[in-house]
Each structure stands twice: as structure tokens, then as C-alpha cells.
Structure 1
Amino acid sequence: MFESGKPVVEDTEENRAICRKYCKICQNYRKHSLEKFKPNELFCACGQSSATDMKLIGCFCSGCEVYIKHHLRGGYFCVRR
């Protein structure tokens, strides 16, 4: 599904379950304890984390099945959208 030429990821339990697998191994997610902030997963659908002062130390978005399935580009969705 595309909106304004950009791929749109739906906020579904299926996508969240996939996302959880990958976030757990993401350096950025673990280093900044992103599970404690909203949204705490599926950043490509829900937007960036409310955590502040994050440094970009590693991104695993491009390895995620949701990323591949929806033909997403870029990364660090937890920091920027």
C-alpha cells in the first residue's frame, strides 16, 4: 500500500510481532532502552520514539521482514521518519 508515493506500513499485530524480533537485536534500540518509550516498536508505522538525545550507533531496520515486504528505504525509523 502506498500513500503519496511512499510505502505505508500498517500497525497490525502481525507487523508488531515481526518488528519485536528485530528490535531486540538492534544496537540503537538496546542502547537507548527504547522499550521504555512510546512508541516502543514498529517505528516505520508509528513514528519515531519519544526518547531524547539518541546517538545513531547502529540500525537493523534493513534486515527486518517488514522493511523488505514494504519496500522501505533508509533506516533509523526510531530516530527519524
Structure 2
Amino acid sequence: MTAYKDEKRGTWFANFRYKNWRDEPKKKSKRGFRTKREAQAWECDFKRKMSRAASMEFSLSHATSILKTCTARARNHT
């Protein structure tokens, strides 16, 4: 984990690279942390949030239960 001290301001900042959901490289940084631990914790939390998969797997039983609830609430149209 990368955390650097900004000598001019006396604070810490996190600066790192990651890949977004399209697998494109991105650069992220945030400044103004009072401690090195806070900067590293923020970076770890950001990477954890970005690593979550955007896809969701459905089973047949789950899909049928969703359809039952949606059709029960749906109003008949003319």
C-alpha cells in the first residue's frame, strides 16, 4: 500500500493505480490524511470496493420467485 508524506502541508496522501470494470488502467489519489494508517486504510477500502464483481448469478428457483412477485404486483392493462 502506498502512502506518502506531504512535507509542505504536513499531511499524508494515498497515490496508486488500479483497473476499472472495463479493465482500463486508472490512477487515483487522495490527500489530507492526518496519519499514514488513515491513508492506507482508505486505499485498502477503495480497492476492496472496486474489486467487487458487477455480475450477479441467478439460479432457476431465484428467477421463478422474482417472476412470481413481479406478476403478482403487475396490473392488467387494456
Considering fraction of residues, name the structure with more strand: 2
Q: Which has the larger radius of gyration?
A: 2
